[in-house]
Structure 1
Amino acid sequence: MSSAFPKLFAPLSLLLACCVFLAAAGVRAQAADETPVREATLVYHFRPIVTWRTTLVGMTPEVRVRRALARINNLTPGQMTQPVERTPFTVDSGRGISVHIGETSLFTILQGDLAVDEKISLDEAAERAALEMAAALQASVEQRRPRVLLTGGGLSLLASALALGLFRLIGRARMLLIARLEHVIDNDDASSKLRWARHGWLLVHRVTQLLMGFLWLTVAYLWLTFVLARFPLTEPLGDRLTDFLFGLLDTFGSGVIHALPALATAVVILFLTKTVTDVIGNFFKAAKEGRVQVPGLHPETVTATHRIVSILVWGLGIAVAYPFIPMSDSDAFKGLSVMFGFMLTLGSAGIVNQMMSGLVLVYSRALSVGDFVDIGETVGVVSEVGALSTKIINMRNEEVTIPNAVLVGNPIKNYSRLAGARGTLVSTKVTIGYDTPWRQVHALLIAASEQTPGLRAMPKAFVYQRSLADWYVEYELFAHMDKPLERVPVLSALHANIQDQFNTYGVQIMSPHFVAQPSNNVVVPSENWHAAPATPDTPHQET
């Protein structure tokens, strides 16, 4: 039995291999049957005739399209003028209709070619395809007529000339508009509202270029639509462009009409918001001018408070009006909201810090515009207190910009806050030995201040004795001035006058440092206590 097994193994193996091959072939055939058929549309001279969705005698829709086009292209001019007819027939797969001209079959339509969602019968689909085929063949016949070509060519040339004229007119109008704007902006008597255009002249050019490009595209679109519609073969393309334009205008117009109620509501809300902000503005204007007294509202904080309240009111108004804005619930608006929120999240840390520091400066009333201040290494007059930074003009007439967060973290010396109508206080120091009468020093310093231009005569200057050091007395002269930015030249002139005064009366400006104790006491005799220019009634100090 063992010798018979090899003889049976070969036939069994061959039989098994055949079974596997047949099974695989069956699977492939079943998979091929289950593969969906891709639809194809027969298009002739830009006109869609019929769409096929099923096979015919093993031919896919793509093959049916190629064969139908071959038959149509083989038609003679005489056949193209004959009527397109329809003949129903029956095949194994069901009922069908043949579309033909005479004895020449053009194509067939089967029940499986109809769209599932399209509520149309086979007869209606065949009738529509026959009409479209007849129109396409008629257009092909008309296209060969010389009169049609001449008429279409002439009208196209006329439309081209008109389009070129409009192009030149649009370019000319743009140049005239730019020249007029330049003349208005450069005119010295122009309104201040147009001054911004000097800094945004490039933007003005870009806007005019965009407007010119839009007008050119419009003219080109209308020209192309008109020219295509003049020839029978390209008339369907012109009709599509026309339908697209009118469809776009219809969509836009319908959208505008439907959006008018909501848009009117948004406009009313924003108008009421503007009215409320105007009323609030009048209130804060009266508070700034002192006509209205509000506890806790100071003149220095009126502007900042007005801005904050206005922002809150406008924010509330925009939040209420936002749902009524057309397309506010669209994906585009949602995407913009997400983008702005992301940008605000990334950049808000530093900006909010600077803005809050600005509010601290304003409501602490540490400084205001026109104050003469000393901040670290910067000494000058405040020219602007902004939301993010403060600008100071120093003694060298340089504008220094300091972030508000830096100002909050540094001590601020404000020389103007307590000056009031008396002006900004300025001072200088001098040290004189004990052998000079203090009354004479006081009188010399005050006389020097009275001779210095830029210092006010009233209130009168005064002198303090700041310290009694080991070898000298330190005197400090205080005077008032109206122009803080002139502090450096005024001090220079004051120092020159002090030297002249002391030299005139023989008082030496030198702080003595003794190497050894003099034999006589370094004192001022009583008879010299009122040495010139001092007088007996010279006070010890003035405040």
Structure 2
Amino acid sequence: MGFIILLIYIALPIIFGFFPWTKNFAETLFGYFLNPLKNVLYGIWAFLPNLFTIIVIFLVFNYTIKGIRFLKLEIERENLKLSGFYPDWANPTFQILKVILYAFMFVLIFPYLPGSESPIFKGVSVFLGFLFTFGSAGSLSNIIAGIVLTYMRLFKIGDRVKIGEVFGDVIEKSMLVTRVKTTKNEIISIPNSTVMSSHTINYSNESENGDGLILHTTITIGYDVPWKLMHETLLKAADRTDLLLKDPNPFVLQTSLDDFYVSYQINAYTKNPNKQAGIYSDLHQNIQDCCNEVGIEILSPHYRAARDGNMVTIPANYLDKNYKAPRFKVSIHKEENK
């Protein structure tokens, strides 16, 4: 259909050209078609020098970015080491430099674009910049926070952390959010600006670079139990617990002396911070077993009982075969009348 219309448009001027009184119509119709075509061709010809300039600018920046990418890969592989520059900084630094270089390239290319001096082109550019600035204010704050977090090196992928009230393993770090997988397999996305404004605890850093993470739990025992026996019992429980280190040695702290009981805190080192829940569970089981084996009752801080005539709280399988509940003790005082 379009081809037929084009043929008719070309045929009409030719037909009009046969007659003197319609010859002007022929020239006018040809002008409607040829003048725009000539303007386009002249515009392309005039734009060729600018086009070659744009191509040269693009190639220079493109090969510059490739060179920086090569350096980034070498630093990540630790084939190239820079003093004070960590390998995990390589990729974010490359991304920042790439954005800056592309922005600078666009600034250089912009004056060579056709129509860049027209008021409409400038107005559209200002409008788009306005939308970007006010529409991405929240995203920009998260991006800036993500960059700061990267260079602060608070944590890395796989670390066990606590961010605010969120406890789990870091599974993703991006410019906008940090994703944490909790011990219950929940995936929580935290905006980087929120991470910056919250306190962060990293449980993995000392496990990898130091003696290990110290796990600790507190048990309260009455004053009737000798403290030396309690220390030995807790250390034995720590020694039985898998994934707790024997060196450095576990240790016990007496953290408080309260009205009815003493607070004992067992501390032990581990290199497995991502398995804290299982380690704590095993440690608590071993504390129960070790206390029962030596005859220590684990009582509530405000436990009340009439001991005479009642069984102890230690499980029966830890008691002597001949154990019997004590009898009630009754004392009678008789006074003689004088």
Query: Which residue of 259, 263, 268 corresponds with 1:473?
Result: 263
Query: In the aligned structure 2, how far is the partner of 1:233 from the partner of 1:260?
Result: 35
> Which residue identity is paired with 2:232?
Q
Does the Cα contact within 8 Å between 1:461 and 1:477 map onto a contact in 2? no
How far did residue 228 of structure 1 move? 6.7
How far did residue 338 of structure 1 move? 1.0
Q: CA 1:482–1:261 in structure 2 vs 1: closer, same or farther (change >3 Å)?
A: farther
Does the Cα contact within 8 Å between 1:373 and 1:379 map onto a contact in 2? yes
- Mapping for residues 91-110 of structure 1, pairs under 5 Å: none
Structure 1: segments with no counterpart, 5+ residues: 1-219, 519-543
How far did residue 281 of structure 1 move? 2.5
Q: CA 1:378–1:221 in structure 2 vs 1: closer, same or farther (change >3 Å)?
A: same
- Mapping for residues 102-501 of structure 1, pairs under 5 Å: 220-226=1-7, 250-347=38-135, 349-420=137-208, 425-434=214-223, 435-436=225-226, 437-450=229-242, 455=243, 462-470=250-258, 471-482=261-272, 484=274, 486-501=275-290
Q: CA 1:324–1:440 in structure 2 vs 1: closer, same or farther (change >3 Å)?
A: same
How far did residue 239 of structure 1 move? 10
TM-score, normalised relative to structure 1: 0.47
Does the Cα contact within 8 Å between 2:245 and 2:268 map onto a contact in 1? no
How far did residue 232 of structure 1 move? 10
Q: CA 1:500–1:463 in structure 2 vs 1: closer, same or farther (change >3 Å)?
A: same
How far did residue 511 of structure 1 move? 5.1
Does the Cα contact within 8 Å between 1:354 and 1:389 map onto a contact in 2? yes
Give the match's secondary structure for 2:65: helix
The equivalent of 1:70 in structure 2 is none
Compare CA radii of gyration and give the structure with the larger one: 1
Structure 2: segments with no counterpart, 5+ residues: 18-24, 308-338
Query: In the aligned structure 2, how far is the partner of 1:396 from the partner of 1:240?
Result: 79
How far did residue 222 of structure 1 move? 1.7
> Which residue identity is paired with 2:297?
Q
Give the match's secondary structure for 2:121: helix
Does the Cα contact within 8 Å between 2:61 and 2:105 map onto a contact in 1? yes
Give the match's secondary structure for 2:172: strand
The equivalent of 1:193 in structure 2 is none
Instruction: State the Cα deviation string for residues 364-400 of structure 1 (Å, max 9, x = none).
Output: 2222222211122101112223223222222222221
Q: CA 1:416–1:231 in structure 2 vs 1: closer, same or farther (change >3 Å)?
A: same
How far did residue 271 of structure 1 move? 1.3
Query: In the aligned structure 2, how far is the partner of 1:246 from the partner of 1:507?
Result: 106
Size of the alignment, in residue pairs? Answer: 293
How far did residue 467 of structure 1 move? 0.8
Instruction: State the Cα deviation string for residues 459-505 of structure 1 (Å, max 9, x = none).
Output: 56623315132212322333425361x43344334433433343344
